[in-house]
Each structure stands twice: as C-alpha cells, then as structure tokens.
Amino acid sequence: MNTAEAQEQITAIEDTVARTFVGPSRLIRLLVIGLLARLNVLIEDIPGVGKTTLARALAQASGLEFGRIQCSPDLLPGDVTGMTIWSQEAGRFVYRPGAIMHQFVLADELNRAATRTQAALLEAMQEGRVTVDDRVHPLPDPFFLVATENPLRFAGTFHLPEAQLDRFGLAVSIGYPSVADELRILAVADAVAEQPAEADLPAGLGVPPVCSPATIRALRCACTGLHVGETVQNYIIAVARATRGHKLIRLGVSPRGSYHLLAAARGAALAAGRDYVVPEDVRELCSTVLAHRIVVSAEARVEQRSNAEVLEEAISRVPLPTGLHSREKQ
C-alpha cells in the first residue's frame, strides 16, 4: 500500500467515526495513530464523555472484531486471559479463550479492576500473547487495546502501576464538549431514542466498516516502513534524556517511551500523507506519548504541577531541529 492509498483509507476511517463520535477530530486522529503504530491507548476521563462510544466506533469503522471487558473489583485474571477447563466431550482439559481474544479490545474502567487482574494484561500489551497453565496463546492479528480510566478520586478505583502505564503508547483525555457539540449529542440521543426496537438505525448513526483486518495489517506495514532520519532519532533521544535529569521529575521516560514516540510519529506522518517523519511530528505528540510515563517529584506535587506541565518545561529546552522542511524528504 502506497502513502496516498494509506492516507485515503485513514481519512475514510476518521470520517466514519466522526459521524458517530461528537468531539474534537484530534482525538479521533490520536486513536487512529495508535491503531496504525500498534500502540495501546489509555483514555483518562470522567464517565459519560464518550470514551466507550469513540472506541466502539473506531472498532466498527476498522472492520475489527470487537470485545469489551467491563472491569470491576471482582473481575478475575482468567476472565481476561482465558482458562483451562475440563471438556466432557473431548475427555481432556481444553483452553477456553478469555475476553482478550479479540482484534479490538476495550478494557472499560481499567483502574476499577484489582491489581492482579490489571497485571493479566501486561503480557498481552507487550508481547501480543497470553500464557495460561504454561501454554502460550497468541492474540489475534491485528490486535489493538483501548483502555479507559476513571479519575483516582472516584470511589472504587485502584492506582495503575508505573509498569502498566508505560505499556500504553498514548494517553488522551476527551474533556467536556463545547456547546455546539453537546447540542449535537442531544440531537443524536433523541434520534436513537425515537427509533422502534425493530427498526434499523438511520444513516449517520450506524458505523459501517470502511476497511477490513487485512487493510489494517497493510496500513501497519506501511507505517512501519516510514523513513525516520538520524536527525529525528537524535531529537527523540534528546527529548527522553531531558526528562531523566530534570529537578521536578523523579522518574523519567524509559527507552520503551522513546520507541513509542518514534512509532507514534510514524503514524502521524502516514496520516498526513508523508512517507517520512519530521521533527514536528515528534514534538506534537510528546505530551500524548510521554506525560503519563513520568513520575513528578514531591516539590512538583506540592506546587500542584501536572505531569504535562512538568514535561513541557523539561523538553522546552530541547531545540527543535531546523533545516528539515515538513515537505522535504530527509
């Protein structure tokens, strides 16, 4: 798949999702970047702002098999990964797949699950497989995980450990809608409520698939093949290193974070119709890819500085490479 074909397909996905999800187009683009770059996405926000709607719409538009895990304190690791059970018919123990065995998985309210259940996702997120009773089971290809998280001050929530946060390639927040968007949400909700149970949804409310799993695999291959010059790679490393020595950051960005930033920049370049990455791709994604990975110091917490604010202060001192025009291949 060439760059022009990829951009056309990406635009079709985004336009289809936008007919159902009412919100900033940049949010849709960021989830698509995660899908293209094989990066898991964490959506951090309060309930009711459209997190589940956005994820489900993207799954349907992408033509991927969708599975939802509703996280709660009584959710067990085996519910996620699957378990070995005795089969009366086969006369032996067989593996029963868990909820993770779908191409597109939504882990809703992830931080309401107990820590041992959260840990059941680590192998799947990093290695694309699960291990049950010493047997390895590969996940579907393509595989993409979107998780939602409630604010920690909400009742019944558990802290997501740093090791798990580091496995999310991007972390985004939807926020409250604008007045115009909220009016659209009310209109859409009214239109759905007025439909008889047996009626088909009117045009614009359903989410028809505009591609297939094979197309997603082709888009991912195209994304992986994008050129990243030495100057851009050095810029990514400089950004990561700037977080490791800053006085307000106790834990800086890991090498995994550096790679995720590179992969996300490739996804942004492909969505923009380019077959190469420029420093601007990296700079625009720094907060989305890196802010959730750092641990700020006690001083920063006392000053009520957010991760994004501290990160911005740290990387603002890293000069953006010049002489690389966004329309010129390196």
155 vs 292 pLDDT, higher one: 292
160 vs 261 pLDDT, higher one: 261
Instruction: Tell me: do 283 and 167 sit in the same domain.
Output: no
Among residues 114, 141, 174, which one ends one of the domains?
174
Domain membership of residue 58 (yes or no) is: yes
Instruction: Tell me: do 161 and 240 sit in the same domain.
Output: no
Average pLDDT, the chain: 88
Q: Based on the number of CB atoms within 10 Å of its own CB, is 203 exposed (0-12), middle (13-18) or buried (19 or more)? A: exposed
Among residues 138, 159, 174, which one ends one of the domains?
174
The model carries a pTM of 0.89
3-state secondary structure of 254: coil
Domain membership of residue 161 (yes or no) is: yes
Q: How confident is the model at residue 224 (pLDDT cuts 50, 70, 90)?
A: very high
CATH of the domain at 290: 1.10.8.80
The tens digit of pLDDT for each residue in 86-124 reads 888 888 888 889 899 999 999 999 988 888 888 888 888
Domain membership of residue 329 (yes or no) is: no
pLDDT surpasses 80 at 198: no
The tens digit of pLDDT for each residue in 156-165 reads 677 888 888 9
Domain range for residue 293?
A: 225-315
Instruction: Tell me: do 18 and 167 sit in the same domain.
Output: yes
Residue 325 confidence (pLDDT): 52
Instruction: Tell me: do 160 and 233 sit in the same domain.
Output: no
273 in the Ramachandran plot: left (φ > 0), alpha (ψ -120 to 50) or beta?
left
Residue 205 confidence (pLDDT): 45
Residue 328 confidence (pLDDT): 46
Domain membership of residue 271 (yes or no) is: yes
Residue 266 confidence (pLDDT): 97
Q: How confident is the model at residue 154 (pLDDT cuts 50, 70, 90)?
A: confident
Domain membership of residue 36 (yes or no) is: yes
Residue 322 confidence (pLDDT): 77
Question: Count of CB atoms within 10 A of residue 15's CB?
Answer: 13
Total count of domains within the chain: 2
Q: How confident is the model at residue 146 (pLDDT cuts 50, 70, 90)?
A: very high
Instruction: Using alpha carbons, list the distances in angstroms from residue 324 to 3, 278, 307.
Output: 20, 7, 29
Instruction: Tell me: do 244 and 163 sit in the same domain.
Output: no
The tens digit of pLDDT for each residue in 228-249 reads 999 999 999 999 999 998 999 9
Domain membership of residue 197 (yes or no) is: no
Residue 150 confidence (pLDDT): 83
The pLDDT of 191-196, averaged and rounded, is 62
Residue 295, strand partner residues: 251
The pLDDT of 283-300, averaged and rounded, is 93
Instruction: Tell me: do 232 and 89 sit in the same domain.
Output: no
| Residue 176: half-sphere exposure toward Cβ, Cα within 13 Å | 2
The pLDDT of 34-45, averaged and rounded, is 94
3-state secondary structure of 12: helix
Give the amino acid at 115: T
Is 265 within 8 Å of 285 (Cβ atoms)? yes
Domain membership of residue 216 (yes or no) is: no
Question: Count of CB atoms within 10 A of residue 320's CB?
Answer: 13
Is 173 within 8 Å of 151 (Cβ atoms)? no
Instruction: Tell me: do 51 and 137 sit in the same domain.
Output: yes
Instruction: Tell me: do 141 and 12 sit in the same domain.
Output: yes
119 vs 257 pLDDT, higher one: 257
Domain membership of residue 307 (yes or no) is: yes
Q: How confident is the model at residue 68 (pLDDT cuts 50, 70, 90)?
A: very high
pLDDT surpasses 60 at 200: no
- For 82-142, the DSSP string reads EEEEEETTTTEEEEEE-TT-SSEEEEETGGGS-HHHHHTTHHHHHHSEEEETTEEEEPPSS
CATH of the domain at 61: 3.40.50.300
Q: How confident is the model at residue 273 (pLDDT cuts 50, 70, 90)?
A: very high
Residue 193 confidence (pLDDT): 64
Residue 143 confidence (pLDDT): 95
Among residues 113, 140, 174, which one ends one of the domains?
174
Q: How confident is the model at residue 62 (pLDDT cuts 50, 70, 90)?
A: very high
Instruction: Tell me: do 158 and 251 sit in the same domain.
Output: no
